[in-house]
Structure 1
Amino acid sequence: MLTEHENKIIGMIYDAALNPLLWQDVMAEVVNFTTSTTAIFTATDQLSPNYDFVFTHNIPEESMRAYQEEQLKVIDMRLHAPYWSAKPLGGTVINSFAPYALMPVDSDEFVFYEKCAKPTNIIHVAAVLLERSAYSWAVFAVHRAPHLEEYSEQEEKILKRLGVHLRRALQIYRQIAILQQEKKNIYHVLDHFNVGVMLINQDYQLCYANSIVKKIVEHSCILELDKKNHLKTLKTFQDKLNQLIHSALFEHEKINNEAGGVLAIYDQDNNSLMLSILPFLPSQTQPAHKQAIVFVTQTNQPHHLAKDYLIQKYKLAKREISVCELFVNGLNLEQIAQHMQITYGTIRIYMKNIFAKTGCASQAELMQLLMGLTLEFEHIH
């Protein structure tokens, strides 16, 4: 049976879901109820950073400033996510930060200890998991100073019971935040695009991603986010990606160059994505807030080339276009020869002619060119 104090906290949780200013009171009550030193309620979503929040009790401003500005909240998420791997939503973990102080000085563990745990004088932690994915989580945690006892199984059960209501409150909070966003910005429109869309700010950080691109990035092995919310891809394509984003953000610096462009990224296992990067100005009244908009499309479905364009632009013959279409769909030269029922030597002649007409010097360069000429999405050049 729940205690009177616990019932009081549950009521306060739902009040805070509607009025975020009340989370400070909730945190204080939970700290008192569990005889803790500090508490934190944090939600981190790298793909929707506008919905991030952190509520704390008794944590020094120095620690919170580092947590926010130095992206320790992402280190926190990635560092502690393994502890939750075998836990369901609503599961709890009891841990200690003490071993972190003995780790190498450049490790995430040591940095987290020095910037967050040590200034706050906390070691013991008990936490409940409220949300989790590759790039997001929400956790409610309480902490104790080194001289206090570790958390007990009974206190873990209390936190688990409160977690049920914290999860519901979080869902209410999210819905209210979404409704408020839809009323005042362009994100509501972008949410309904049929392709993946993300926005990059002038610090090169992802600041918005719609639901389609969230699914793509969550499951992608060739496109991800680092702890600073910068887009990262395979080393082969990273410089080009950075260049296109820069040109879209700072097009006025370019002379005789178009802003943005198209980039196909792919690995040796034929996992591939197409990125179209363009300048984006959310408001004509705030030109200083220019962003880069990135359209992301999956290209692991059969590709169909813009044949008329290949004929007009590069003067390719029909058989050469057939070779290109098989090539862009992942077949090697031997497989193309077998599919077209011609010799390997003939295929090599076709490829030599294609290289000459397109100006490509390698198969990788030809692949990148052709990926920009598929019909699955109308990329802008």
Structure 2
Amino acid sequence: MIENIFSTVTDPGAWSAVLRELIACTNSRSARLLVMNADATRVVSSIKENLDDNYHRQYTEYYVNACPWRPELQQKPPGRLYSTYLHFSCSQSDFLRSEFYNDWAGPQDIHHGVCGTIYRDSGRTVQLLVQRTGGQGHYTEQDTAYINHFVPHLHHAFQLSGQVADRCARAEAVALAAESETLPYFLLDNSLRVIHCNPGAEELLGVDTPLIFRDGHIGVADEVCNQRLQRLLKDCLAAAESRAFQTTGGSLDVPRTDGARLQLLVRPIHPDIPALTAKPAGYVVVYLYDPEAGIAVDPECLRRLYSLSEAELRVSIAMLATADPAEVAKRCFISLHTVRSHLKAIFAKTGSNSQADLMKRLLTGPARRR
């Protein structure tokens, strides 16, 4: 059992084997492992053994908070499991009259259980629940003590697996940010601190730049632009942590002391990590583009690649010089409404969802001049 528990550190799929062995060695009917939010009011992910899929879905979506032991379990110290027959104020007769039993537990012949919090950190609570039928009898003090013998190992395994998953998520975030090394970039973690940058970004730190860094956080000298940047960073981080894949970030023109402008392209990064063993990892990448460095793409290649009209091509090229649609309108001698119409068509043809997404495609795609 202990060997199987620690194999979950690198193989989250091994939790199924742990639950099966726990069921077998405790003469139980079924078992569930619930990864919940910090307040233990919502199931984020779960693994179950010997439970019908439909009944389990009903439990995670509704009955988890209808269980008569749930309020009292919230108050019990973590680090051990408790017998529902011995350690809760809800009597067995009251349980048998509850909605939870009549609509969910009873149809599955679930009469007894042990449950408790085996791991908790700042973002999640992990609970283990093991059940018996009426014929198998309740969990005695001896039964509960036997199961609690494994709880420290379960806690340690979750702690280690979270550390491993965090490192894997960070490595994947770096790889995603560096999909194309053509743009300088800074990678920010879930506290919006810079944790990585490529050589191009390092070079920018040594020249006259509007970027400022305080305690590892990135900002810009212009106060209005900095407020917009901080909002954009927070929005992208929220999108990354909630897995809002439709959110692709935004772009920002930042004034420099020489009168020129630096473009910041801000995007969320969503590393693919096992939801069972780690908190959702959110990262944000800030790409830097200097329009003064010259046109970065081949216009004819860009036109052929995405079947752009001449007007759409002019707007696309103008976007490389400024992220402000109003400024694009001035450069192209067209109205702001026309710019937005062209952008809508350009987004559709390039498969982009935002200006930041479009800029990333233009500056790192096949049309970029090498």
Same fold (TM over 0.5): no
The structure with the larger Rg is 2
**Normalising by the residue count of structure 1, what TM-score does the alignment of the two structures yield?**
0.42
Instruction: Specify which structure has the higher proportion of helix.
Output: 1
Q: Bigger relative contact order, structure 1 or 2, given CA contacts below 8 A and separation 6+?
A: 2
**Normalising by the residue count of structure 2, what TM-score does the alignment of the two structures yield?**
0.43
